[in-house]
Amino acid sequence: MLRSLRNLFRLIGIARTLARYDALFPAEWLPATGGLVFAARLLSGFRTARDVRGLRPGERLARALQALGPSFIKFGQMLSTRSDLVGETIADDLSSLQDRLPPFSSAEAHAAIEAEFELSVDELFETFEDKPIAAASIAQVHVATILQDAESATESGTDPAETTTVAVKILRPGIEDAIARDLDLFRWIADLAERSQPRLRRLKPIAAVETFADSLRWEMDLRMEGAAASELHGNFTEDPMYVVPEVNWERTGQRVLTTQWIDGIPIHDVDDLVAAGHDLEAVVTKASESFFLQVFRDGFFHADMHPGNAFVSADGALCVVDFGIMGRIDRPTRYFLADMLLGFITRDYARVADVHFQAGYIPANTDREVFQQAIRAIGEPIFDRPPNEISIARLLAQLFQVSERFNMEAQPQLLLLQKTMLIAEGVGRRLAPELNMWQLALPLIEDWMRENRGPEARLAEITANTILAVQRLPDAVEAVERAATTITDGRLSLDLRNASSPKWPLWLAIGVTAVLAVIALAD
C-alpha cells in the first residue's frame, strides 16, 4: 500500500512535468488515463514552457525526459530504438536526446576516487583537472595525467618521467539509489499495465522494464564498460586507422574508469575537419568499413555512435569513445542479416521471406505469399532512388514495422543495430552528402558473403556438422548399450499386463533405447 501511494505521488509529479513540456501524449495512448492527464495539466496551470512551443511531439518529449533526470534520459534513449512502438518520427527525435546534466563538485569526484582505490587523487595521478570536460546522466569525465610505466617507456623509447594524458570517468554520487527508485516506479507501472490492460500484454512491459534494468545495471559498473572497450580495442589491434582507447586497469574500478586520452576533431565539425586538411570521403569510408567489420566479422559493435563519441585524429584515424552501450549479434543472426540484405539487393523477395521463416521470426502458419508481397512493397521503391539517398537503416525500420504486423516478436539486438545504422548514416551524409556509406563497404561485404555464405562456406558448414555428429556417435552408442543393459538386467520395471501382443516388450525396449540415444545426441 505504501509503495503504491509513493509511486502514485511520483507519477503525478512526472505527469506535471510532461504537461509543462506539452508531452503528455504517451499517456493519452493508454485507456482510462483522461483523469490523470487533466489533473497534470491543472497542476501545471495549463502553462507550457516557452522553449518547446513549435517543437514536434518527439522533441517536446525529449526535453521533458531530460528534465526528469538520469533514468528517464536513458529510458528515452531506449525508446529511440523502438520505432515499432513510438513511430519513426518520435524515435528519430528521441535519438537526439541530450544526455547532459550539471556537473557534480570536484570534492565529490575526489571522494569517489579515493573511496574506490583507498588512495588519494595525488597518489594516483600526477595532475587532475577538477573541472569536468563532460557531465552526463550517469557519470562525468575529467582529464588527468599519469607517469608512464617503465615497460611502456622502454617500448616507446621515451623518458619514464614523461606523463601520459588519460580520461577519468566517475559515476555520479548516489546514482545507484536514484536509479533504484525510478526502476521501482517503472516496475510498478508495468505490472499495473499488464494486470489492467490485457491488450498491452503482447508488448511485454514487465520484461521490457527488466531488460532496461539490466542495461542500467551494467552501465553503472564501469568495469563492464572497461571490458567492452578492451574487447573492441582487441578486435582492431591490427588497424591503426580505427582507434579505441586502452584501459588503465590499475586506475579502474566499479565507479571509476580510466582510459587513454583521445585527441582529435569531433566528427560532426565539418568545417574544422576541412580546415585541418582531412579527406572527408576517406573518413566516411573508414566509418563504413569499421562498422561492417564490427557487425559481421566480430558480432560486437559500438551502439552509441552519436557524433560526440567519434573523433578524427591528426593522422586521419577514426577514434571512438564511450562504451556504455554495446551491441552483440550472434552468428546465426549475422547470417540472417546477410541473406536478407542480399535478397533485397538482388530483388529476390522470396529469399527475404524465407530467411525470416527459417530464423523463426515469423509464425509458421503465416501466409508466405502475403508476407513476400509486403516485403516487395518495401524493396521496390528503393530502386527508384539514387544510391546516395538509399538508407539501409530506414529499410530495416520499415521491415520491422511490417514484420510486426505479421506477429514477429521484437528482436532487441536488431532494433539496436538499426538505430545505430541510422545515426551512422546521418554522420556520413553530413560529411559527404553525395556518398552512400554502405556502398563504400561493398568490397568487404562481397568478400564476407563469399567466405561465409558462398558454396564453399556452406560445404564447410555441412562438413563441420557431419564431423560433430560423428564425434557424438560413440556417446549415442554408449547410451544405447546402457539402455539395453538396463532392460536386460531387469532394472527397468515394465507393466506388460495390458499388452495385447507378445512383441510389445521388444518394441517398447527399442523405443526407450531410441529415445535415450536421441537424448545423448542432443546433449
Coil, strand or helix at 256: strand
Task: State the average pLDDT for the chain.
Answer: 81
At residue 501, the pLDDT reads 44
Residues 350 and 491 reside in one and the same domain: no
Residues 276 and 417 reside in one and the same domain: yes
Residues 492 and 380 reside in one and the same domain: no
Residues 358 and 269 reside in one and the same domain: yes
Q: Considering only CA atoms, which of 118, 162, 121 is closest in space to residue 142?
A: 121
Residue 107 belongs to a domain: no
Residue 147 belongs to a domain: no
Residue 485 belongs to a domain: yes
Statement: residue 142 has pLDDT above 90: yes
Of 403, 436, 453, at which residue does a domain stop? 453
Statement: residue 494 has pLDDT above 60: no
Residues 62 and 188 reside in one and the same domain: yes
Q: Report the distance separating Cα 249 and Cα 225, nearest Å.
A: 12
Structurally, how many domains does the chain consist of? 3
Cα–Cα distances in Å, from 199 out to 33, 78, 195, 370, 411? 15, 22, 10, 25, 20
Of 428, 453, 478, at which residue does a domain stop? 453
Task: Cell numbers for 202, please give them.
Answer: 503482447
Residue 121 belongs to a domain: no
Per-residue pLDDT band for 399 (boundaries 50, 70, 90) equals: confident
Residues 312 and 292 reside in one and the same domain: yes
At residue 388, the pLDDT reads 73
Query: What is the 3-state secondary structure of 267-310?
Result: CCCHHHHHHCCCCHHHHHHHHHHHHHHHHHHHCEEECCCCHHHE
At residue 135, the pLDDT reads 92
Residues 386 and 337 reside in one and the same domain: yes
Residues 411 and 321 reside in one and the same domain: yes
Residue 189 belongs to a domain: yes
Residue 115 belongs to a domain: no
Residues 510 and 399 reside in one and the same domain: no
Boundaries of domain holding 21: 2-99+177-217
Residues 429 and 486 reside in one and the same domain: no
Residues 8 and 34 reside in one and the same domain: yes
pLDDT tens profile 85-100: 677 788 888 877 877 8
Residue 415 belongs to a domain: yes
Residue 206 belongs to a domain: yes
Q: Report the distance separating Cα 137 and Cα 346, nearest Å.
A: 44
The percent of residues in the chain predicted with pLDDT above 90, rounded, is 36
For the annotated catalytic residues, the residue numbers are: 304
Which range scores top for mean pLDDT: 28-42, 247-261, 362-376?
A: 247-261
At residue 515, the pLDDT reads 45
